Chains A and B, each alone.
Chain A
């Protein structure tokens, strides 16, 4: 038996898109002729990629998490307020932030599974609640400041042999990605996809559907917290930091060929989708396309990717059937 790269259905197209974009970048900007340029791109993209991985868990199990953007904002504002510029506060605040991510994920998950409210509505509500809470608490302007040791994760780099200075955020991203891939190849991960595909089948087979859904939301919440730590480190305090991130994450997941509604798509593809999105924005910027186009491009991508997902699989099947006449 020959070895075949185990790419899930739909992963290949986004990888092709990503490679094309990266090559285009090399032509558009001289900085992308060296690893440093790509490392800078990865560093910038890391928070979005992590968010997309979190979003993937929810989407593939048949839900949506629209609350991640405002969760990121809330986390950044909380971090600034609690740390208030003191290095001594860094570690326990990071623990609090991750804990808050888990909590929000739990609430989203429990309401979805126990009260049977569609996740689209639950997380939309959570988005509004968090937005309102942040505004109420800060009145629109975050107070406090982040400490230098907190910002290291988003700004700093470590020296790695051969590669040179590798940003912390890239290492954290790699760890998350490897963890996510291992998780999805394990039994729980596979059942998670099955839940998105056919919840009843999983239930009849003895799978704990509610627990898996809950887990997906918790993972999304905690990864959003992690993304917030990286973003705050990268760019500093702002009350707008998370605006629109939930849609970027969903766009990234869709671009990765993950089926909205669940049941199909790989986590690697979702991550690649996020990276492609970020590379695309960099490319648009480098070739001098106005920033106003970003939203439009995002919209076109989401529509085109879903259309492809809806028809692409059918076309492929039709092609295969014709190529290989069916056995009786």
Chain B
């Protein structure tokens, strides 16, 4: 093989390597990240820490949800709103049914979004007054979502639901959609404008991160070693999770032996945890900003023959089952997938001229030892999210399998 070819092939390989680096930049974590980029942050005080918002979210955790119709909706958290400020929607009223609901979805490229989207589709089926449900999948591309939203403008939508791919880039597109006079409902990730009729989301990242950190503070004796595993930097809800945990760990007497990014990759998680077990001898607690790799982390302890730590997971079936089977000391904060039901409910309220909260904050429960058994569904796939609010729906469980 001559020199010229070698050089050509090598440069091609290097270019490809660089490209691969780019494409794996932001494996969407699903847990509702608005991906604003930021520089690397250290473990001190996060630039994402916002004292007022932090306190607001922690307070929300004990707030009682209000059912807008005054029904007893204790078991329907997707219909509840925390501390709602209602807005008038009379100008959008279009009673009589025959609605065409349009939905611009950021993507369905991870289990969280899949479970959510199926739940949303089943919710639509519950309402015969919705005669048409159009969905465009942006495949995690901002530019595609912008054109998706534009194309809905000419399709005669009664209401437009948007789950934005990223915050800043999608803001003008949502503003343009608001100007067409169609009621716009944003959920999951936000946009930087108040023009949508309502913005629906669970409490938020600070509350999620705090739920896990407080649990470890309670279960791990003072001086115990805690390993923090994060998926990736720069996604604001994930940054908020760590910022809250960092705040709580700061005065706790716990020793944070490491803060590592796993890319959400099980093999990498196992390697990292294994290295830390070898380095520290014993790890007493594992904090995570998302539980997708919690099972891999526990397996690393099992394979190393170490005592299992107190661990923070999420409401995925594989983790819940392992929790019960191995009698883990665990907690599972959630970013509930039932929030995908709410935009449909909100759209119908708006079209009927009923008030909705301007910011519709949904309860964000956590799975604890006491409630664990309620959420384990042995016949569901391992990556199914238990907090889907779907198990009483007519089609359950077939669409989620």
**Among candidates B18, B27, B278, residue contacting A31 with C-beta atoms closer than 8 Å:** B278
Is the beta-carbon distance between B296 and A236 smaller than 8 angstroms?
A: yes
Is the beta-carbon distance between B275 and A285 smaller than 8 angstroms?
A: yes
- 0/1 interface trace, chain A 124-154, chain B, CB 8 Å (1 if under): 1000000000010001111111000000000
Is the beta-carbon distance between A298 and B261 smaller than 8 angstroms?
A: no
Question: For residues 269 through 284 of chain B, which have their beta carbon under 8 Å from a beta carbon of chain A?
Answer: 269-272, 274-275, 277-279, 281
- Closest residue of chain B to A298 (Cβ to Cβ) is B17
- Closest residue of chain A to B317 (Cβ to Cβ) is A145
Q: At the interface, yes or no: A288 with Cβ under 8 Å from chain B?
A: yes
Is the beta-carbon distance between B13 and A250 smaller than 8 angstroms?
A: yes
Question: For residues 145 through 168 of chain A, which have their beta carbon under 8 Å from a beta carbon of chain B?
Answer: 145, 155
Is the beta-carbon distance between B265 and A234 smaller than 8 angstroms?
A: no
Task: Decide yes or no: A288 and B275 within 8 Å by CB, A64-B9, A299-B14, A303-B14 being known contacts.
Answer: no
Determine the chain B residues whose CB is within 8 A of the CB of A237 once the complex forms.
Answer: 382-383
- 0/1 interface trace, chain A 302-328, chain B, CB 8 Å (1 if under): 110010001000000000000000000
Is the beta-carbon distance between A120 and B12 smaller than 8 angstroms?
A: yes
Question: For residues 201 through 231 of chain A, which have their beta carbon under 8 Å from a beta carbon of chain B?
Answer: 231
Bound together, the chains give a CA A137 to CA B164 distance in angstroms of 25
- 0/1 interface trace, chain A 233-246, chain B, CB 8 Å (1 if under): 01111101101100
Determine the chain A residues whose CB is within 8 A of the CB of B233 once the complex forms.
Answer: 292
- Closest residue of chain A to B22 (Cβ to Cβ) is A295
Bound together, the chains give a CA A299 to CA B3 distance in angstroms of 21
Determine the chain B residues whose CB is within 8 A of the CB of A247 once the complex forms.
Answer: 13, 16-17, 20
Task: Decide yes or no: A241 and B267 within 8 Å by CB, A155-B303, A295-B21 being known contacts.
Answer: yes
Is the beta-carbon distance between B275 and A140 smaller than 8 angstroms?
A: no
Is the beta-carbon distance between A40 and B274 smaller than 8 angstroms?
A: yes
Is the beta-carbon distance between B266 and A302 smaller than 8 angstroms?
A: no
- 0/1 interface trace, chain B 252-270, chain A, CB 8 Å (1 if under): 0000001011111111111
Determine the chain A residues whose CB is within 8 A of the CB of B20 once the complex forms.
Answer: 244, 247
Task: Decide yes or no: A234 and B270 within 8 Å by CB, A140-B111, A259-B1 being known contacts.
Answer: yes
Bound together, the chains give a CA A238 to CA B110 distance in angstroms of 10
Is the beta-carbon distance between B279 and A141 smaller than 8 angstroms?
A: no
Q: Chain A nearest CB: distance from B26 CB in Å? A: 12
Q: At the interface, yes or no: B344 with Cβ under 8 Å from chain A?
A: no
Task: Decide yes or no: A44 and B274 within 8 Å by CB, A142-B383, A236-B295 being known contacts.
Answer: yes
- 0/1 interface trace, chain B 72-112, chain A, CB 8 Å (1 if under): 00000000000000000000000000000000000111110
Q: At the interface, yes or no: B381 with Cβ under 8 Å from chain A?
A: yes
B residues contacting the other copy or chain, number (CB 8 A) = 56
**Among candidates A143, A196, A306, residue contacting B1 with C-beta atoms closer than 8 Å:** A196
Determine the chain A residues whose CB is within 8 A of the CB of B278 once the complex forms.
Answer: 29-32, 37, 40
Bound together, the chains give a CA A305 to CA B260 distance in angstroms of 29
Is the beta-carbon distance between B264 and A44 smaller than 8 angstroms?
A: no
- Closest residue of chain A to B118 (Cβ to Cβ) is A139
Q: At the interface, yes or no: B299 with Cβ under 8 Å from chain A?
A: yes
Q: At the interface, yes or no: B114 with Cβ under 8 Å from chain A?
A: yes
Is the beta-carbon distance between A31 and B279 smaller than 8 angstroms?
A: yes
Bound together, the chains give a CA A29 to CA B281 distance in angstroms of 10
Q: At the interface, yes or no: A62 with Cβ under 8 Å from chain B?
A: yes
Bound together, the chains give a CA A290 to CA B262 distance in angstroms of 11
Is the beta-carbon distance between A261 and B267 smaller than 8 angstroms?
A: no
Determine the chain B residues whose CB is within 8 A of the CB of A250 once the complex forms.
Answer: 13, 17
Q: At the interface, yes or no: A262 with Cβ under 8 Å from chain B?
A: yes
Is the beta-carbon distance between A30 and B279 smaller than 8 angstroms?
A: yes
Question: For residues 1 through 29 of chain B, which have their beta carbon under 8 Å from a beta carbon of chain A?
Answer: 1, 3, 5-7, 9-10, 12-14, 16-18, 20-21, 24, 27
Is the beta-carbon distance between A145 and B265 smaller than 8 angstroms?
A: no
Is the beta-carbon distance between A261 and B1 smaller than 8 angstroms?
A: yes
Determine the chain B residues whose CB is within 8 A of the CB of A286 once the complex forms.
Answer: 275, 279
Q: At the interface, yes or no: B127 with Cβ under 8 Å from chain A?
A: no
Is the beta-carbon distance between B1 and A262 smaller than 8 angstroms?
A: yes
Determine the chain A residues whose CB is within 8 A of the CB of B277 once the complex forms.
Answer: 31
Task: Decide yes or no: A141 and B24 within 8 Å by CB, A40-B274, A290-B40, A299-B14 being known contacts.
Answer: no
Question: For residues 255 through 273 of chain A, which have their beta carbon under 8 Å from a beta carbon of chain B?
Answer: 259-263
Is the beta-carbon distance between B266 and A44 smaller than 8 angstroms?
A: no
Is the beta-carbon distance between A240 and B16 smaller than 8 angstroms?
A: no
- 0/1 interface trace, chain A 25-69, chain B, CB 8 Å (1 if under): 000011110000100100010000000000000000010101000
Q: At the interface, yes or no: A282 with Cβ under 8 Å from chain B?
A: yes
Bound together, the chains give a CA A282 to CA B262 distance in angstroms of 14
A residues neighboring B (CB under 8 Å) = 29-32, 37, 40, 44, 62, 64, 66, 120, 124, 135, 139-145, 155, 196-197, 231, 234-238, 240-241, 243-244, 247, 250-251, 259-263, 281-282, 285-286, 288, 290-292, 295, 298-299, 302-303, 306, 310
Please provide the 5 A-B residue pairs with the shortest distance between their CB atoms, ordered closest to farther.
A31-B278, A261-B1, A141-B111, A235-B266, A235-B267
B residues neighboring A (CB under 8 Å) = 1, 3, 5-7, 9-10, 12-14, 16-18, 20-21, 24, 27, 40, 107-111, 113-114, 233, 258, 260-272, 274-275, 277-279, 281, 295-296, 299, 303-304, 318, 381-383, 401
27 inter-chain pairs at a CB distance below 8 angstroms, sorted by A residue, are A30-B279, A40-B304, A62-B1, A140-B113, A142-B383, A143-B383, A145-B381, A196-B1, A234-B270, A236-B266, A237-B383, A238-B265, A241-B267, A247-B16, A250-B17, A260-B9, A260-B10, A261-B1, A261-B5, A286-B275, A290-B261, A292-B40, A292-B261, A299-B18, A302-B17, A310-B3, A310-B6
